[in-house]
Chain A
Amino acid sequence: EDQVTQSPEALRLQEGESSSLNCSYTVSGLRGLFWYRQDPGKGPEFLFTLYSAGEEKEKERLKATLTKKESFLHITAPKPEDSATYLCAVQGTSYGKLTFGQGTILTVHP
């Protein structure tokens, strides 16, 4: 059974204070690892897909990296508008089937 563990559960940062979120996974035959952002009262919004170890993707202040056991979401010089819950998910051998982690609640104070 695919498993995803995210840490920390919650992270409070000051504006401009860079940090990283962790996503550890166990999956038989990783087809892809996904990062989503979820704002309160809304559905998750897609950020990145990573396919193989060593891959990196960037979008504005966010950079996602992937190893054989975990993924990191690095946030550089965050702003208050980056406050949200960040969800990690994996897709294994079943096409379309995503297994999500519990998420990390990020709060950025001005």
Chain B
Amino acid sequence: DAGVIQSPRHEVTEMGQEVTLRCKPISGHNSLFWYRQTMMRGLELLIYFNNNVPIDDSGMPEDRFSAKMPNASFSTLKIQPSEPRDSAVYFCASSEDLGTRYEQYFGPGTRLTVT
């Protein structure tokens, strides 16, 4: 299997621009997670889906952030408008299902820089 696929791998944008990050989970996995990693705050869960339905979005920092999962093989995380403090590495992860017995597999991440 190709693992979790994220695109783009690097994104540089100017403040105020819209940014869309994309994720393709592992085939057959029913759960998908979006994380953000920074030096100051570490790895934080933003939102997660099960069977394409958002379960918990309490980690989404502001209304500028939104996420969708239109089907089992694709999800997007959108930031509009972007700000310099959004600069971070964004990871997507997937698992077979929710629960402790299902390990999460992480993608390679998207490094976002907002200038």
Contact = CB atoms under 8 A, between A and B. Distances in A.
B100 A51 contact: yes
Given A96-B48, A96-B95, A97-B45, A43 B109 contact: yes
Contacts of B56: 94, 96-97
Given A96-B48, A96-B50, A98-B104, A44 B43 contact: yes
A34 B48 CA distance: 18
Secondary structure type dominating chain A contacts = loop
A57 B45 CA distance: 26
B26 interface: no
Interface residues of B, number: 25
Secondary structure type dominating chain B contacts = strand
B74 interface: no
Interface residues of A, number: 23
Contacts of B101: 49
Nearest to B48: A96
B31 A96 contact: yes
Interface string B41-82: 011110010100001100000000000000000000000000
Interface string B96-110: 001111011111110
Interface of B: 4, 31, 33, 42-45, 48, 50, 55-56, 91, 93, 95, 98-101, 103-109
21 contacts: A34-B103, A43-B107, A43-B109, A44-B91, A45-B106, A46-B103, A46-B105, A49-B100, A49-B103, A87-B43, A94-B56, A95-B99, A96-B33, A96-B48, A96-B55, A96-B95, A96-B99, A97-B56, A98-B45, A99-B45, A100-B44
Interface of A: 31-32, 34, 41-46, 49, 51, 87, 91, 94-103
